Amino acid sequence: MEIEINSIWEFRDVEGFKDGIYRVLRIEDNISALIVFNLEHTTKIVRPALLQIEHFRVRFKKKKIQKTIYELSPYLLHDEEIIPVKYKSLREERYKKIKELVQDPDLLFDFSTKRKIPEVSIQAIKCGTDNKTIYRLLNLYWRLGQTKNSLLPAYSLSGGKGKIREAVNNSLGTKPVSRTGQFCSHQSYIVKEKDRELFEKALKKYYLKPNGLNLKETYKNLLRQSYQFEILDAYYLDTIPGVPSYRQFINWSKKIFDQHEIVKFRTSETDYLRNKRAVEASITDRTPLPGSCFEIDATVADVHIVSELRRNHVIGRPTIYSIIDRASRMIVGFHVSLYHASWKAARQALVNAFSSKIEYCQQFGIEISEDDWPCSHLPQRLICDNGEMIGLKPQELIVPLTELQIAPPYRPDCKSLVERRFGYLNDKSLHRLLGSSRGGKIIRGSPDPRKSAIYTLREITTLLIRDVIEHNKEIFDDLPPVSGLLSPLNNHYV
């Protein structure tokens, strides 16, 4: 057990001491005692206390005294250059008042053993202040670490931001004034605890739910349900009803529910998890190296194709299977076919990802080197949908090679990289072609894209392969900050 000056200790059931957290101000070796100070925040003046070291050790062995941590406010931890000059001058002015007291090594013992300290009165007269001010500055100095910065003004802790002011009898805002002066302006309504409860009830009932009403309609329903008698009385008496205003209702709705809760309650759970939830990190944080994780998915291409045997015969839209390396954003596997999203088409894309691309590109008349598409490896894990990969065949053939992870239903954000690459291929190439459906954005009355289709499956595949190779050579500036291990690889295939 080591006892150091300014160390923090928690006292529990220690005779002569109130339960709480204490700071060791001084170690009196000549009498084997400690001078400790209670760190409880109070408006009362607190005196240091004397504790024998032997008594301290006995209570420590019985676990009635334990070492702990006392977190200081952020304003005390600022660098000297950041502190404003105004705050520094106030700090020096305060320290000047207690400098002679805190620099006297014997005076701290007197504070802990004597009731009256004549030196405090002498110092107060010298500084032109009172004894109470000196004691408060000493308490602040002892509580916050016995440094000059402990006397900095705590303006950041002042005020009542975020706190509700109770027992308000008068309006806190600007008083309404009649524009012409011919009529008396109505008195501002003061929102009480009962009104806040009605606000919360109306917000939960009408506003905080998927497809809920807007705030204006919610306010109208609040008046109809909770303030109908006040409105009727004002109508018959020809006066202004004493009800909360719409502006008051909006302001209190922001105080009762924060923005995070409003967004969460006004949308479905799936939409919240996909598009609106707070994200603390990137999906690449757990996949720092290429090959750590592959993502696989399929989509229907936004272009109609024709048969190679009969060019005037439209056979539909092909299915594109893509496999993306999560760390490097590289398209490592690729397959285009007339199959729907199924295991038959997915296994072709997997074979393409695990094998060399030179022979595959030669089938479509494209000559490449190994550096143009450097991927023929197995990933550490593979993330896929819970569709074609849930079955006996995928489990039998893939699981022995790599770890297979199934994404939750309706959660494309779990494999967002491969989803975005489909948009990249469609926007870059397919939407410019004849026969493209442009993602369904067809204006009414425009020509049918199927009538202008001229490309075959082989031609579309050749075009997409060239786009994939070009994509793999692009440089993504956001990858090195995510993982420093990718910076030397950036110029090769990212």
How many whole angstroms separate alpha carbon 358 and alpha carbon 364?
Answer: 10
205 pLDDT above the threshold of 80? yes
pLDDT value of position 223: 94
Q: How confident is the model at residue 481 (pLDDT cuts 50, 70, 90)?
A: low
CB atoms within 10 A of CB 12: 13
More confident residue, 302 or 441: 302
Check: CB of residue 380 under 8 Å from CB of residue 358. Answer: no
80 pLDDT above the threshold of 60? yes
Q: How confident is the model at residue 135 (pLDDT cuts 50, 70, 90)?
A: very high
pLDDT value of position 204: 94
Highest mean predicted confidence (pLDDT) among 35-44, 105-114, 220-229, 426-435: 220-229
* Average predicted confidence (pLDDT) for the chain: 85
pLDDT value of position 384: 86
Cα 433 → chain centroid? 42
Query: What are 355-375's pLDDT values in tens digits?
Result: 989 989 999 999 998 888 888
Q: Comparing 22-26, 71-75, 140-144, 169-173, which segment has the lowest mean pLDDT?
A: 169-173
492 pLDDT above the threshold of 50? no
Query: What are 214-229's pLDDT values in tens digits?
Result: 999 999 999 999 999 9
pLDDT value of position 482: 58
pLDDT value of position 484: 54
pTM of the model: 0.55
pLDDT value of position 96: 92
Q: Comparing 11-15, 47-51, 265-269, 423-427, which segment has the lowest mean pLDDT?
A: 423-427
Check: CB of residue 243 under 8 Å from CB of residue 227. Answer: yes
Structure-block tokens of residue 47: 């005196």
Domain ranges of the chain: 8-67, 74-155, 193-265, 286-493
Q: Mean pLDDT throughout 293-319?
A: 90
486 pLDDT above the threshold of 70? no
pLDDT value of position 489: 46
Non-local (6+) Cβ contacts of 102 within 8 A are: 138, 141, 146
Q: Mean pLDDT throughout 395-410?
A: 81
490 pLDDT above the threshold of 50? no
Q: How confident is the model at residue 491 (pLDDT cuts 50, 70, 90)?
A: very low
Angle, helices 246-256/215-226, rounded to nearest 10 degrees: 100
pLDDT value of position 409: 79
DSSP run (H or E) holding 81: none
Check: CB of residue 332 under 8 Å from CB of residue 294. Answer: yes
Query: What are 159-186's pLDDT values in tens digits?
Result: 666 666 665 666 666 666 767 766 666 6
In terms of CATH, what superfamily is 286-493?
Ribonuclease H-like superfamily/Ribonuclease H (3.30.420.10)
CA distances for 92 relative to 77, 89, 141, 180, 187, angstroms: 17, 5, 13, 55, 49
